[in-house]
Amino acid sequence: MTFETIDLKTKLITDFHARESVMNGEAKSAFHQKKRAALAQFDTLGFPTIQNEEWKYSNVRDLISASYNFNTSDTLSAEDLVDLKMPEQAANILYFVNGHYNAALSTMVSSTDQIIIDSLQNAYKNNPELVNSYFDELVKDDTDAFTSLNTAFAHDGVFIHIPDNKTVEHPVILRFVSDARQENIGSQPRNIIAVGKNAHVKIAEAFRTIGEQRSFTNVVTEINVGEEAGVEYYKVQNESENAYHIGTTQVRMLEKSHFYAATVTLNGKFTRNNLNIVIDGEHCEAYMYGLYFPDGSQHVDNHTVADHRKPNSESNELYKGILRDRSKGVFNGKIFVRPDAQKTNAFQSCKNIVLSTDATMYTKPQLEIFADDVKCSHGTTTGQIDEEALFYMRSRGISKPEAMSLLMFAFCADVVSQIKIDSIREYLENVIAEKLSRS
Amino acid sequence: MFALHGVGNFHIRPKLTTFAVNLPRTTYTSINLVMLSINGLRASIEGKEILKGINLGIKPGEVHAIMGPNGSGKSTLASVLAGREEYEVTGGSVTFNGIDLLELAAEERAAEGIFLAFQYPVEIPGVTTINFLKTAVNEIRKYNGEEPLDAARFLKMVREKAKLVSMNDSLLKRALNEGFSGGEKKRNEIFQMAVLEPKLAILDETDSGLDIDALRIVAEGVNSLRSPDRSAIVVTHYQRLLDYIVPDFVHVLYKGRIVKSGGKELAFELEEKGYDWIKAEVEAAEVNQ
Ligand SMILES: Nc1ncnc2c1ncn2[C@@H]1O[C@H](COP(=O)(O)OP(=O)(O)OP(=O)(O)O)[C@@H](O)[C@H]1O
Ligand SMILES: [Mg+2]
């Protein structure tokens, strides 16, 4: 195993140097220097093992035991996407195939005075200073090997800039499709979202796979939420049985801003989501919702951080999971309340229904509170479906499977109803209803 | 299975005869006139026997009241009839309109026309009362080979029934029983009963927690369903309810058996004298064995 581990790591490092050697002056840019530093960090850290406390229940051995082609793009046409259709909605829809922006498949509806939106690659070409001013700024202190790896290889993804006082009427939907029909595909999209003062936007990231080979997605999204801004951010994963997904979303909130996140994992072999929110202003409100639904031998791990650095802000977190078969779920929710962050309200809850004796849920709330005038609470529940409720429904003539599916749909609804992009919410309702009818 | 039942019945036979004297005549009428026939029913939970040989026959159109001290097994009987799986039936039989009821799942019993109004209605977050009922109505229709009701007809029917039990429309749109007051929950049970129009309604202490007006409304709801082919079992601690829903028979359940049966005057007697005299009778009978 060790041999194979070194193999993917060495391959990636070699690949990096090969790319660097064909760069011209760009290799000296500040942008590239950040990548170099990240590569050095990745080299030092190596892929995490389960000895690493943050990866205790999530073993990446299987993920890194294969090789992946990271260098493909444009392999998809509109016809290939027919099966991935979502309900129609007027939205800015951007496609990324194997991590690379595909202009032909994408549609933009919002005007450019409301939103600057482009692929990271184009944005950097057109305005390197602006892009570089945001790139890596939020995650540079991250000690996660996958984040470093993403930074080192950051090449494409989305760059979104919302000017001050603009409300983007139409949502932004980023669709990441891995085309794993021919071979194992790797992709490392890097998204940068900068929302100006008092600006508002709804953004979704949707991840899909085509084909039976492996896909390995290692995505990083950096979101800057300006003063008084409002951002709704949804991450939806409905990938294949051979999809490995590691993602970090790093958020920084300034004074009086609102940030809503919902992370929904419907399908995928191995998923690890990190959602880290730094609340760096007063009177902020952060909401984190999560829903996961693994079956078979799928693995879903959600790590979240609410880092309260300033007083008078609030964070609310609700993660819910339904686990079937031999699946495994992990929830680790950290709440930091720094000494300055008096009058913080921080609430966290993780509720799980485990439908099979072979399924396992690991939950770990982690509160570190250094201020004395705060309100914090956390709670986790892991149980079976409520038997009382089930009998009540059956006594009214509702069959057991139908009653179970109504109860589970209701369980999911707490999270799904938070999603304010209609087409995404409808899509989720449909997929969830369909998944439930299979139980 | 049969052998086990046989052993159980044999074991209890001497005790049963002691009480048979008090049983209503309906128990002995021919099977095809009886809607519900319970014979020697025994049930346990977690290894503890709660029902110790219940005999009861109910003919179409009859209302039977069941009274008895706390913990005597009234709710257990109701639950076993409705098909709660936690209870293990260890002996006896139950026939409903000629069908072996114990063979059916809870939802099949509901579709056959049994309805249980819960002593403690369950709160179900995320499922609206209206959506829940629509699913129930259509599942029952499916079971009986009928087409689902279209939304318009369903709504019209539901509105009428809601009016019948003075149930506020706004409750219908809320999550089922979630945050309902005690009285609202009970009213919701009767409302559901009115919608589902069961052949046999089992009301488990639907009167407790109701104010006088609500009690009257609930009773009117029950009475409006009374017909020559519908029956009811009304579990209550209070004679008061029986002023409104006048029973044909009153039974006293004690320690898992029906130890006394009579007409509606028995309820007055119990209200006046309590249960001590009945307990004494039972204890005396046990000593005599
Ligand atoms: N799940 C259970 N586990 C153990 N014992 C139980 C369980 N459910 C009921 N019992 C016991 O069975 C007995 C009968 O309970 P039941 O609820 O049927 O009484 P009841 O006649 O309805 O009483 P009440 O008038 O208070 O409603 C009680 O002693 C009760 O504690
Ligand atoms: Mg009871």
Tens of pLDDT along A145-187? 999 999 999 999 999 999 999 999 999 999 999 999 999 999 9
B58 touches chain A (CB under 8 A): no
Q: Are A69 and A52 in a shared domain? A: yes
H-assigned helices in A359-438:
387-394, 400-416, 422-437
Distance (Å, rounded) from C-alpha A289 to C-alpha A417? 10
Q: Is A393 on the interface with B (CB under 8 A)?
A: yes
What does the alpha-carbon distance between residue B131 and residue B151 come to, in Å, rounded to a whole number? Answer: 11
- Do A303 and A317 lie in a common domain? yes
Q: Which residue of B has its CA nearest to A411?
A: B126
pLDDT of residue B5: 35
Which structural domain, as residue segments, surrounds residue A421? 388-439
Domains in chain B, ordered, with CATH? 2-288 (3.40.50.300)
Query: Closest partner residue to B136 among A389, A397, A411, by Cβ?
Result: A397
Q: Same structural domain for residues A249 and A347?
A: no
pLDDT given at position B213 = 87
Mutate to test the pocket of ligand 1, among B48, B54, B88 (most ligand atoms within 8 A of CB): B48
Mutation for testing the B interface, residue in A398, A407, A411 having most B CBs under 10 Å: A398
What per-residue string of b and e applies to A412-436 under the rule 16 or more CB within 10 Å gives b? bbbbbebbebebbbbbbbebbeebb
| CB-based pocket (< 6 A), ligand 1 | B 45-46, 48, 50, 68, 70-76, 119
Residues A201 and A85 placed together within one structural domain of the fold: yes
Question: Six-digit token pair at A182?
Answer: 């021919």
Identify the pLDDT of residue A364.
95
Q: Do A291 and A243 fall into the same domain?
A: no
Instruction: Report pLDDT for A267.
Output: 97
Q: Answer whether B190's CB lies under 8 Å from B206's CB.
A: yes
Q: What is the pLDDT of residues B144-161, one digit of tens each?
A: 999 999 999 999 999 999
In tens digits, chain B (289 residues) has pLDDT values of 333 333 333 333 333 333 333 444 444 444 457 999 999 999 999 999 999 999 999 999 999 999 999 999 999 999 999 999 999 999 999 999 999 999 999 999 999 999 999 999 999 998 999 999 999 999 999 999 999 999 999 999 999 999 988 888 888 999 999 999 988 999 999 999 999 999 999 999 999 888 888 899 889 888 988 899 999 999 999 988 999 999 999 999 999 999 999 999 999 999 899 999 999 988 888 877 6
Together in a domain, A187 and A78: yes
Q: Which residue type is seen at A395?
A: S
Contacts of B136 in chain A (CB under 8 A): 393, 396-398
Q: How many CB atoms lie within 10 A of CB B51?
A: 26
Same domain, A210 and A108: yes
SS3 B173: helix
Q: Six-digit token pair at A155?
A: 């090449």
ipTM topping 0.90: no
Residue A301 dihedral angles phi and psi, to the nearest 5°: -125, 120
Among the candidates A220, A247, A278, a domain finishes at A278
CB contact under 8 A, B127 and A406: yes
B202 Cβ under 8 Å from any chain A Cβ: no
Burial class for A332, CB neighbours closer than 10 Å (0-12, 13-18, 19+): buried
Number of C-beta neighbours around residue B189 at 10 A = 24
Interface membership of B47 toward A (CB under 8 Å)? no
Burial classification of residue A64, based on how many CB atoms lie within 10 Å of its CB (0-12 exposed, 13-18 middle, 19 or more buried): buried
Positive or negative: CA dihedral A135, A137, A139, A143: positive
Place of tokens 């707490």: A414
B255 burial (CB, 10 Å; 0-12 / 13-18 / 19+) is: middle
How many structural domains is chain A composed of?
3
Asked if A204 and A171 touch (Cβ cutoff 8 Å), the reply is yes
Q: In this structure, are A370 and A392 located in the same domain?
A: no
What residues have CB less than 8 Å from B283, skipping those under 6 apart? Answer: none
Kindly state whether residues A77 and A168 are assigned to the same domain: yes
Distance B129 CA to ligand 2 centre (A): 24
Query: Are residues A178 and A212 part of one domain?
Result: yes
8 A C-beta contact, residue A344 and residue A376: yes
CA of B69 to the centre of ligand 1 (A): 11
Per-residue pLDDT reduced to its tens digit, A381-422: 999 989 999 999 999 999 999 999 999 999 999 999 999 999
Provide the 3-class DSSP secondary structure of residue A362.
strand
Strand (E) or helix (H) holding B109? helix B106-112
pLDDT tens digits for A232-288?
Answer: 999 999 999 999 999 999 999 999 999 999 999 999 999 999 999 999 999 999 999
Task: Work out whether the CA dihedral B57, B58, B64, B70 comes out positive or negative.
Answer: positive
Q: What residues of B are in contact with residue A403 (Cβ under 8 Å)?
A: 107
| Same-domain pairing of A357 and A400 | no
Determine the Cα–Cα distance for residues A388 and A376; give it in Å rounded to an integer.
31
A contacts of B131 (beta carbons < 8 Å): 406
For A239-371, where are the E strands, in sequence order? Answer: 243-253, 258-267, 270-279, 285-292, 299-308, 314-323, 328-337, 345-354, 360-369
Q: How far apart are CA B12 and CA A429, in angstroms?
A: 55
E strands within chain B?
36-45, 48-58, 63-67, 88-96, 99-100, 114-117, 124-128, 175-176, 200-204, 231-235, 249-254, 257-262
Which amino acid type is present at position A224? N
- Rg for chain A (alpha carbons), in Å? 21
Nearest CA in chain B to A416: B126
A 10 A CB-CB count for A191 gives 23
B141 or A142: which leads in pLDDT: B141
- Could you tell me where the DSSP H helices lie in A154-258? none
Nearest CA in chain B to A417: B126
Which pairing describes strands A185-187 and A314-323: parallel, antiparallel, or unpaired? unpaired
User: With 90 as the cut, is the pLDDT of residue A87 above it?
Assistant: no
Instruction: Give the ligand with the smallest distance to the CA of B67.
Output: 1
> Is residue A366 domain-shared with residue A400, that is, in the same domain?
no
Report whether pLDDT(A74) > 90.
no
Q: Is any Cβ of chain B less than 8 angstroms from the Cβ of A411? A: yes
